[in-house]
Amino acid sequence: MPKQTDDSGSAGLAGRRGRAARNDAAILDAAREVFLSDPKAPVAAVAERAGVGMSALYRRYPGKEDLLRRLCHDGLRRWIEEAEAVEAEPDAWKALVVFLERIVDADVHSLTVHLAGTFTPTEEMGRDARRAAELMGRLVERAYAAGLLRRDLVVDDIGLVLEGCAAVRVPDAERTRELRRRFLAMTLAGVAGAGVTGTGEAALPGPAPEPGELNWRWRRPGQSGRV
């Protein structure tokens, strides 16, 4: 008689892995909602929102900082992914606009605004942050070179744009997206160069953000100076 193969073990393993992946996704989705609403909320609120037990949460994230760090690092990776995705776009202005629209839609900057300073970043996060800044700088420089961006705008001004978009929030998620897109479009109309608007430029008021000035949230208690 031919030997029968019992694949129930592998099927069970795949099933467990599938459940683990679904639980992890549910935890991260719940954590975004909970901590964007209240960064001081306990992890128990995340488990309750995700519909998982505390033991399932702690198996993946031993402490609250681990969960916060994962959320922010995922946002940073998304930033890099979207910036790299538009590098091949030949239209410098379209590349910048599409990148910003995608970052605003993904609500990446809200994580920075709400969670910065609540955990200790890793060295890998530092490397990814430098990569993200490099990619952002290239997008802005391309727009400069094409005459599509006003010359008195600096790269860190983009942080102000994204911070303004992140502040727009209403109870309905889709309406939030629409209003943020509207705010972004109005803001970009104000920073477009003559090559886009066909008009002259009035000088922007006030000194431009200094390098690192907008990173104040990442400073730990007792730390001073630029980050």
Ordered mean pLDDT values, 10 residues apiece, the chain (227 residues): 43 66 92 90 96 92 94 94 97 96 92 84 94 96 92 89 90 89 90 60 64 64 50
Which residue, among 214, 201, 202, 218, has the nearest Cα to 156 in the 3D structure? 214
Instruction: Give pLDDT, residue 17.
Output: 76
**Taking a C-beta distance cutoff of 8 angstroms, is the pair 93, 194 a contact?**
no
Long-range contacts of 165-174 (CB under 8 A, 24+ apart): 165/104, 165/109, 166/107, 166/109, 166/110, 166/112, 166/113, 167/113
Q: Quote the CA–CA distance of 4 and 180 in Å, as a whole number.
A: 59
pTM value is 0.77
Q: What is the pLDDT of residue 7?
A: 43
